[in-house]
Amino acid sequence: MNYQTILQEIHAEVQACLGEGRIADYIPELAKVPGSRFGMALQTVNGESYAVGDADQRFSIQSISKVFTLTLAMQLAGDDLWRRVGREPSGTPFNSLVQLEHEHGIPRNPFINAGALVVTDVILAKLADAKQTVRDFIRALGGTTDIDFDLSVAASEQLTGHRNKAMAHFLKSFGNLDCDPDGVLDAYFHHCSIEMSCRELGAAGLFLANDGVAPVSGDRIVSSSQAKYVNSLLLTCGTYDAVGDFAYRVGLPGKSGVGGGILAVMPRKFSLCVWSPGLNEHGNSLAGTRALELFTSKSGISVF
């Protein structure tokens, strides 16, 4: 499979839709990113790496950080985690308060904002510093020591994240946060502000394509069963309330973020990350989704 040729073809074909969609301007710092940017990188479990465009340009990973916080929480809490958060698609926007009230403070899944706040609470309750622990975990997975928070983005989210703040206090009122809501929010906003490139994200997510083992270090991050669980949640819950359409078009487990990134996984083969800031109506990268659809069509590789 000539992955580099496929990526180059995709890069040429998506030029027509770059700049389309809406940048996540409700987070003021994200509004500053040019909508014409595009990068894509593929990392195989055998150590091969392919990339095109702005694959080495760092961007705010936003909700893609939830893949790594979930992994840490599974390490710390095991199956007890699922008493506090569900494993079902939400079918509603990622920041819905209505669904959370209807379901008595138990978020549908760990990838909507309410679920990610509970996951962050688990980490914060078990460890002294949830912010640094998650950052250092991602650094180790990506093999890059200078991955860090974008403090201006974290501050921007802290200033404008009123719905997330309401959600955290709502969770606390249902008894589903053990820690102080403001501490959970601070950690959550910092996790979302982490900056990484497509190449770095692809490397960091590669353990999910390798039965839970980080290929470079050989370290077991999660059990093979846990890797399967995370991948299944990526497929059914990873792209907000558009998971059905994403599965139909792309056919890979994936997690998107409103910074314009999407991390996708093909078990036992590769991880694949794409970035373009313009979002569709569901909050997923418009050009990124199209690029991943083109990739699975051209390569003939998907989970189906």
Print pLDDT tens along the chain (304 aa): 899 999 999 999 999 999 899 999 989 999 999 999 999 999 999 999 999 999 999 999 999 999 999 999 999 999 999 999 999 998 776 667 888 888 889 999 999 999 999 999 999 999 989 999 999 999 999 899 999 999 999 999 999 999 999 999 999 999 999 999 999 999 999 999 999 999 999 999 999 999 999 998 899 999 999 999 999 999 999 998 899 999 999 999 999 999 999 999 999 999 999 999 999 999 999 999 999 999 999 999 999 9
On whether both 118 and 164 belong to a single domain, the answer is: yes
Q: DSSP letter at 86?
A: -
Q: Is-contact 256 279, C-beta < 8 A?
A: no
Task: Report how many domains make up the chain.
Answer: 2
| CATH, residue 129 | 3.40.710.10
Tokens of 274: 């794409």
Residue after which a domain boundary falls, among 169, 194, 219: 194
Helices (H), the chain: 3-13, 65-77, 98-102, 113-126, 130-142, 151-160, 162-173, 181-193, 198-204, 224-237, 243-249, 286-299
On whether both 263 and 174 belong to a single domain, the answer is: no
Beta-ladder partners of 266: 270
On whether both 83 and 168 belong to a single domain, the answer is: yes
Tokens of 104: 């008595």
The whole domain housing 288 covers 3-57+199-207+234-299
Closest Cα partner for 284 from 4, 13, 23?
Answer: 23
171 vs 4: CA distance, rounded Å: 46
For residue 216, tell me if it sits in a domain: no
- Write down the residue that tokens 């992994």 correspond to: 71
Count of residues in the chain: 304
